[in-house]
Structure 1
Amino acid sequence: MRKITYLFFSFILIALTASAQKQTLDKVAGVVGGSIVLQSDIESTYAQYLSSGMQPDPAAKCTILQRLIVQKLLAQQAVIDSVTVNEDDVDAEVDRRMRAMIRNAGSQERLEQFLGRSVVQYKDEIRPDIKEQLVANKMQGKITEKVSVTPQEVERFFNKIPKDSLPSYNKEVEVAQIMFQPKLNKEEKAYYKQKAEDLRTRIKNGEDFGTLARLYSQDPGTAPSGGELGFQDRSSGLATEYAAMAFKLKAGELSPVFETDFGFHFLQVIERRGEQVNTRHILIMPTTTPASIERAKSKADSIYNLVTLNKNIDFASAASFYSDDKETKYNGGMMMNYEDVQSRSTIIPTDKLDPQVALVVDTMKVGEVSKPQLITGQDGKSTYRIFYLRSVTNAHKANLAQDFPRIKDLAQSDKVNRTVSEWFEKKRKDNFIRIDPEFQSCPQLKGWNSTSVAAQVTATKSDEK
């Protein structure tokens, strides 16, 4: 957490430095037709590059300038082709990025302190850049929308890859699970609810909310800041019960104790701003008991018998009816490869599985259902799980027979990139581009300075306008 915070504030510091440069010592790093790329634009993007955990690399600034020039050219073509984006989509993207920054900063107030301006002001500043990015992305999508690859093209692409450069794939599996969470009964929950009620009473009697949150709240993300979440809207990912309570109360009001999947809370509304609300809360998290763990095991044993011995229900249906894992229960219990989000692949390299799960799966045969296993998550919580092994692919060098879908994706990406590059090379010759001498040594920008008469005329007309 300290590392993330350090990186975030380093990013803010660099961004503020870039902002200061824009007002004082800024210079034009590149010109594309009637648009310019400022040195401060490069520095701000480079700051984001560093904040993502990448190592310092001055050469990255060459790539950033290249990308910004391509973005400007795409945006200019979008005007010609009447390609636009919905203003609501721009606002949504601005809000999404601001929520991420507020979350990383810890609160809106802390972010505003480091920005030296209000969030509203900063959103107005970044909105034109974000809109241009979205327009450029849409324009690129239009250029490549009809690009596709045939099986023959996939094969030709694969055959051009040198044999010693073929990718290697680790052992991969498809695994489904049914999860059984230990659940407290009403009597067991009563103790934790009462702890929350007692703290709420102390606050009503005059004790400081922030102090008690720092001392007793079990939400590690907000307890250090007195329980404060910062401004959130209804789409910020708040628990449903929490959002309903937060948007029902007025500023200063204290909620009753209520329950979510995280435990027992009560909250206080600090401030309302239109469709955003800033709250602080105290969370008391119930602890599983030996009895609740035993109940979970008993249920897991029962469902295991239904699936394997009595065979009254198939695994996918059992997951839908009985699993406590909301992410997998409605897709037959299939675990997803979260490093391949776009394709929503169920094929998972074994080295990406939880080591406890991988250990169980390694002993199974395809089509087999495991006996209930006690698995402890990274959060320290234990659950009983039943696993079903649907398929296994052993470690191997890439080949068309086993890896056609992945090779097709690579071939598609290659063709898309070539299409965009060809489009850019054609447009580059017809548009005025000037690169600042500082960046003319960048390999990817060599030869980009315009020399054609047509491009110079285009630039002159743009300047006259």
Structure 2
Amino acid sequence: MALSLISCLSSNLSAQEIINDEVKDATKTSDSVLKTVGAKKIDGVAAVVGDFVILDTDIDRTILQLKAQGASIEGVTRCQLFGKLLEDKLYAHHAIQDSIVVSDAEIRANVDYQVEQFLAQSGKSMDELLAFYNKPDERSFREEMYEINKSNKLASEMQNKIVDEIEVTPEETRQFFNRIPEDQRPTFGTELKVSRIVIEPKTSEEEEQRVIDQLKQFRVDVLENGSSFRSKVVLYSDDKASIPNGGLYTLNRKKPRMVKEFRDVAFSLQEGEISEPFKSDFGYHIIFLEKIRGQEYDVRHILLIPKVAESAVLAAKEELERVRQRITDGEITFEDAAREYSDEKETKSEGGFLINPVTQDYNFELTKMDPELYGQIQNLKEGEISLIQTDRDHTGNVKFQILRVTDRVDEHVADYSRDYLKIKELALNEKRFKAIDKWQTEKILDTYIKINGEYRDCEFTNNWLKK
């Protein structure tokens, strides 16, 4: 529990400032609790890491935030929390040195979302929120949250940069496995393969054209009548997750995000341009390109999902009933039926077999299976075909499916041939951990770090005191 709490601290609120060289010089001559940053005085400077300071109140506020979230901090020491803050600031400092750029619009949109979520979930007012974080007004509170979110984003991007290009070869995987003593090799839980056939109700051509025409009218209203694109997002978009951000997403040409159709249209636009309506697996979109910053594109979009008629829902269920009957009667195999009838693109060509997103093979370990999928197959016997199940797709529309479980393998000690992909992932993680450890060791020595007061007595896993 302690480790999981520490790993999530980057999302917690804490005070911070970017400091200048004068402050660094001041910390060399005094460990007093009063430091000056520009014209602002700060009490309780616990540490300086590169261009950042960490305050005593950072740790206090982190503890308050964890308690406010209902998390237990039993077993988590102030030194552990402090160590995590040191790591975050080290990453953020070197992200700046390496000229890593983060999206200002995305960060501010994230702050807006965090504030709205806190108010909605806690039932507190803005005044109560300000009192909780001891802030005089909303503006100063949001600015502090902006700096915190920016620092956290820089830290995250720096970590990604360190490990992004790390890979392991088959030989490295073999050597990793052979280094593990036989009596210490990992045990993998019961595994099985899951396959399914999905049939989705079809929308009518008339309904799809209605959606397209509505999006075209939105485009005209913004370009020719001066309407606000963001307002139309709030009023009409079916992408509920992006509504608090005004439909904003930041895309990077080097790091694919969103479906291909969305990316292709977004990267074809010029600043201030709005796309024509286009279709993806999620529905129909229009995109407004707000800003281009090198490889990053700030875009807003409106998504409309065509409605499905009740008659189409009934027809889809009846079709799947006929397919299931053909399989149980032996007229067609499950695999061939999936290839012929299933509407799920990801599994159709695989004969209905689901691909494990972690291991990229067909095997699923029961103890690590998605709870929703486990609930759908937990009562199935080997080779049994489920009754028709009603489910929802990523747009919220109803769909129907039948499932089957095959090739069950009981819990077993890791076997190199059978479990190669899992072993490869373990080897990759070890290599990434070593890269992170090596980077931290080198950068700690190369970075100005000053730790004050009681925190010098902490037992750190890293050499923050440079002894």
**Interval containing the TM-score (normalised by the shorter chain):** 0.5 to 0.7
Q: 1:375 and 1:164, CA in 2 relative to 1: closer, same or farther beyond 3 A?
A: farther
1:65-91 deviations in Å (ceiling 9; x for gaps):
222222222222233332222323333
Report the alpha carbon displacement of residue 110 of structure 1 after superposing the two structures with TM.
4.0
Structure 2 partner of 1:302: 322
Give the Cα separation in 2 of the matches to 1:46 and 1:241: 32
Report the alpha carbon displacement of residue 408 of structure 1 after superposing the two structures with TM.
1.7
Structure 2 partner of 1:81: 98
1:396-416 deviations in Å (ceiling 9; x for gaps):
122322222222222222212
Give the Cα separation in 2 of the matches to 1:160 and 1:439: 38
- Kindly provide the amino acid, as one letter, of the partner of residue 444 in structure 1: F
**Does the alignment pair 1:150 with 2:150?**
no
Give 3-state SS (helix, strand or coil) of 1:152's partner: helix
Give the Cα separation in 2 of the matches to 1:237 and 1:393: 48
Q: 1:315 and 1:330, CA in 2 relative to 1: closer, same or farther beyond 3 A?
A: closer
What is the identity percentage for the equivalent residue pairs of Structure 1 and Structure 2? Answer: 23
Match of 1:311 among 332, 343, 347: 332
Give 3-state SS (helix, strand or coil) of 1:401's partner: coil
Report the alpha carbon displacement of residue 152 of structure 1 after superposing the two structures with TM.
1.8
- Kindly provide the amino acid, as one letter, of the partner of residue 423 in structure 1: W
8 A contact 1:370–1:387 mirrored in 2:
yes
- Kindly provide the amino acid, as one letter, of the partner of residue 387 in structure 1: L
Give 3-state SS (helix, strand or coil) of 2:60's partner: helix
Structure 2 unmatched ranges of 5 or more = 1-8, 17-34, 202-229, 247-299, 301-309, 393-397
Give the Cα separation in 1 of the matches to 2:430 and 2:318: 52
Q: 1:429 and 1:83, CA in 2 relative to 1: closer, same or farther beyond 3 A?
A: same
Give the Cα separation in 2 of the matches to 1:57 and 1:174: 39
Structure 2 partner of 1:364: 382
**Does the alignment pair 1:139 with 2:141?**
no
- Kindly provide the amino acid, as one letter, of the partner of residue 372 in structure 1: L
Q: 1:437 and 1:234, CA in 2 relative to 1: closer, same or farther beyond 3 A?
A: same
Report the alpha carbon displacement of residue 318 of structure 1 after superposing the two structures with TM.
2.4
1:216-274 deviations in Å (ceiling 9; x for gaps):
xxxxxxxxxxxxxxx99948997469999xx9xxxxxxxxxxxxxxxxxxxxxxxxxxx
Give the Cα separation in 2 of the matches to 1:424 and 1:446: 8
Structure 1 partner of 2:72: 55
Match of 1:105 among 122, 135, 142: 122
Report the alpha carbon displacement of residue 335 of structure 1 after superposing the two structures with TM.
5.4
8 A contact 2:14–2:58 mirrored in 1:
no
8 A contact 1:168–1:395 mirrored in 2:
yes
Structure 1 partner of 2:55: 38
Structure 1 partner of 2:422: 406
8 A contact 1:356–1:375 mirrored in 2:
no
Structure 1 unmatched ranges of 5 or more = 1-10, 183-230, 248-275, 277-287, 452-465
Give 3-state SS (helix, strand or coil) of 1:63's partner: helix
Give 3-state SS (helix, strand or coil) of 1:370's partner: coil
Structure 1 partner of 2:45: 28
Structure 2 partner of 1:91: 108
8 A contact 1:94–1:123 mirrored in 2:
yes
Report the alpha carbon displacement of residue 298 of structure 1 after superposing the two structures with TM.
5.2
Count of residue correspondences: 330
- Kindly provide the amino acid, as one letter, of the partner of residue 111 in structure 2: V
- The TM-score, its normalising length taken from structure 1, stands at 0.55
- Kindly provide the amino acid, as one letter, of the partner of residue 72 in structure 1: K
Report the alpha carbon displacement of residue 317 of structure 1 after superposing the two structures with TM.
4.3
- Kindly provide the amino acid, as one letter, of the partner of residue 447 in structure 2: N
Give 3-state SS (helix, strand or coil) of 1:388's partner: strand
Structure 2 partner of 1:429: 445
1:82-134 deviations in Å (ceiling 9; x for gaps):
2222323333443454454345335xx64664344776653322111211222
- The TM-score, its normalising length taken from structure 2, stands at 0.55
1:317-336 deviations in Å (ceiling 9; x for gaps):
42307xxxx99889976557
Structure 1 partner of 2:143: 124
8 A contact 1:75–1:135 mirrored in 2:
yes
Report the alpha carbon displacement of residue 137 of structure 1 after superposing the two structures with TM.
2.3
